[in-house]
Amino acid sequence: MNWNKLTQVGQIEEIKELSMTQPVLIFKHSTRCSVSSMSLDRLLRNWKPEDTEKIVPYFLDLIAYRELSDRVEDEFGVPHQSPQIILIKNGVAVYDNSHFGISYPEIMGQI
């Protein structure tokens, strides 16, 4: 999986613009949480190379960029969880899930 790293506030606007033509997935990951690591591993094991043509994946390290995570919460109106996925279409969050609710088939079913 070829993640785009979400590291700067300005990228939030880029994500909104990009989502007008292609869905964007944000994965919020805590490097200190075993549940987050397991959810990430399950997603990575199921991801197919051709999925990148359907959805643009962004990775947000919550430990390194906690303030940016708070900004994502404010911008998209999705209360913070960890781990968490947020699917953005047309500039707005259309789907989110967290912990063991993070499911590759559900994500792909939303796009």
Tell me the CATH number at 81. 3.40.30.10
pLDDT at 1 over 80: no
pLDDT digits (tens, 9 = 90+) for 69-95: 999 999 999 999 999 999 999 999 999
Number of domains in the chain: 1
The pLDDT of residue 2 is 86
Minimal CA–CA distance to 85: which of 33, 26, 19, 29? 26
Range of the domain at 98: 4-110
**Could you give the C-alpha distances from 99 to 10, 23, 107, in angstroms and in order?**
27, 21, 14
Q: Tens digit of pLDDT for each residue in 32-68? A: 999 999 999 999 999 999 998 999 999 999 999 999 9
Which pLDDT value is given to residue 24? 98
Q: Distance between CA 12 and CA 107 in Å, rounded?
A: 20
Residues 6+ apart with CB under 8 A from 16: 75, 88, 91
pTM above the 0.75 mark?
yes
pLDDT, residue 94, reads: 97
